[in-house]
Amino acid sequence: DAGVIQSPRHEVTEMGQEVTLRCKPISGHDYLFWYRQTMMRGLELLIYFNNNVPIDDSGMPEDRFSAKMPNASFSTLKIQPSEPRDSAVYFCASSTGRNNEQFFGPGTRLTVL
Amino acid sequence: DAKTTQPNSMESNEEEPVHLPCNHSTISGTDYIHWYRQLPSQGPEYVIHGLTSNVNNRMASLAIAEDRKSSTLILHRATLRDAAVYYCILRDRGTYNTDKLIFGTGTRLQVFP
């Protein structure tokens, strides 16, 4: 299995631009999580899905952030408009079953200038 | 939510055992103790978890105090590849919050040759 796949691995953009991060979970996993990691705040859960349905988006910082999961094999995290404080590493993770081990992708390093 | 306390950093020499402590004095009866680690420039990865009894797997051992207010992750023979940040996380299987992983600051383990 290829594991959780994220793209792009690195993204550099200018303030005000739209950014879309992509994630392909492990096949057969029914939970998908989006996390953000910064030096100041550590690893934070932004939102998670179960069977493609958003369950908890209380970690999404503000309305500029949105996430979708149109099918079981694809999810996006969009930031519009992006701001320098959004610079971070964004991780996607998936799991099978609510209590089970989460498998993390390699992350997308986002830099907003 | 029950919280965990870990030392900020620890050091070890290669091939020596490492004992990583975690305090969770407010742990509830339905909290499982999970450990994840994050190698440099990678996403977190699952290490081990337990409830009351000590647990062993190919990566590590987990020793849980009788009162469950503390636990220790044991790496039997540290290798350079074990240099990472280790996170001790409580997951409450009694509530929906078990879906979430709440990461603290973790312990940064350095391994010297």
Taking chain B, what is the end-to-end CA distance rounded to the nearest angstrom?
39
Is the Cβ of B8 closer than 8 Å to some Cβ of chain A?
no
Residue B100 pLDDT grade (very low, low, confident, very high; cuts 50, 70, 90): confident
Contact partners, residue B3, CB within 8 Å, separation at least 6: B24, B26, B90, B104
Do residues B32 and B54 lie in contact, with contact meaning Cβ atoms separated by under 8 Å? Answer: no
| A56 or A104, higher pLDDT | A104
Is the Cβ of B93 closer than 8 Å to some Cβ of chain A?
yes
Output the pLDDT for position B98.
58
Question: In the predicted model, is pLDDT for residue A99 greater than 60?
Answer: yes
Question: In the predicted model, is pLDDT for residue A98 greater than 80?
Answer: no
Contact partners, residue B66, CB within 8 Å, separation at least 6: none
SS (H, E, C) chain A: CCCCEEECCEEEECCCCCEEEEEECCCCCCEEEEEEEECCCEEEEEEEEECCEEEECCCCCCCCEEEEEEECCEEEEEECCCCHHHCEEEEEEEECCCCCCCEECCCEEEEEC
Output the pLDDT for position B96.
54
Q: What is the pLDDT of residues A58-96, one digit of tens each?
A: 999 889 999 999 999 999 999 999 999 999 999 999 998
Is the Cβ of A14 closer than 8 Å to some Cβ of chain B?
no
Closest CA to A88 of A104, A103, A105, A107: A107
Asked if B102's CB is within 8 angstroms of A42's CB, the reply is no
d(CA A54, CA B99): 12
Output the pLDDT for position B20.
98
Output the pLDDT for position A53.
95
Percent of all residues in chain B with a pLDDT value above 90, rounded to a whole number: 75
Q: What is the pLDDT of residues A1-41, one digit of tens each?
A: 689 999 999 999 999 999 999 999 999 999 999 999 999 99
Residue B92 pLDDT grade (very low, low, confident, very high; cuts 50, 70, 90): confident
